Amino acid sequence: MNTEALLRDLRRQLHDGGLRGCLLVRDLHTGDELGIDPDTQLPAASLVKVPLALATAERIRRGELDGATTLEVQPGRIATPGPTGLSRFRHPVRIAIDDLLYLSTCISDGTAADALFDLTPPAQVADILHEFGLRGITVRHTTRELSDTPAERFDAAQAHLALALAIDAGTSGRGHRVPQLDATRASTGSARAWADLLQALWTPSAIHPDVAERVRGLMAHNLLRHRLAPDFSSDATTWSSKTGTLLNLRHEIGVVEHSDGQAFAIAVLTESLVPATTQPGAEALMAQAARRLRDHLRQLY
């Protein structure tokens, strides 16, 4: 199948599966890439925790923060499905900055992320990205603001109502009645911008090597492996990634490293058109589309 036919087929499959998808797969050694709508800006959801980890690790390297410093973190006490770690704790806890980094990045703990955002606010995270020449990602708010959506106002039996609002209340200019889904108010990034960040972390760049290695290590220990990992994990590969989920958004970015030395940055951002919380078929479709792009890129070059 030639490239044009492959992209048409993938667009059709994504549409038939109820997804609008923005994808990019890039060979980190050659720069060759394939994608579908890779420059469309979408709300970042929990993908923003990667820039947060990068900024925190950089400030530790500079001596502005000490990773061993312990902070008292108030419990999230969140009862709705989804949140992890401290977000579900019932009592305050003292925890080191280094361990907050692990919880925020590896299990996507929103309360841990907010404790880090208290130290390095969104605007400062964005400034550090800009220092490294990464300008395609916006960081505008904390995780606390991210999680205050209509889904928290309905009980489990009415979750479909929040999802229906997420699907139907957008505008052609990517505005939205739900602030967290409005591209002008939310933290955002395109598939290309996330691939640029991954490339800066995995290949020589303005990011200090020690900082890049630390963020790569955190992503390698990501525990949420239900989305793209099944198609990129094997005894001959290493899959390092971060997921992002919010209402009808399902994202994942990551790097697959092969035992033969090849490495590919993969960014998959999607919006579901189906008002359902649990969609294993959509998760599998995301992985299959990314895998087909990666396989085609390997064959071409």
Binned average pLDDT, 10 residues per bin, the chain of 301 residues? 94 95 97 97 95 98 98 80 83 96 96 96 98 97 72 55 61 64 87 98 98 98 95 95 92 97 97 87 96 93 66
For helices 191-202 and 49-62, give the axis angle rounded to 10 degrees.
30
CA dist 83 and 78 (Å) reads: 7
Contact 165, 179 (CB under 8 A): no
- Cβ distance 96 to 69 under 8 Å? yes
Task: Say how many Å lie between the first and final Cα of the chain, rounded.
Answer: 15
CA distances from 252 to 23, 49, 224 (A): 10, 12, 10
Paired with 245 in beta bridges are 250
pLDDT the model gives residue 77? 72
137: closest CA among 193, 180, 212? 193
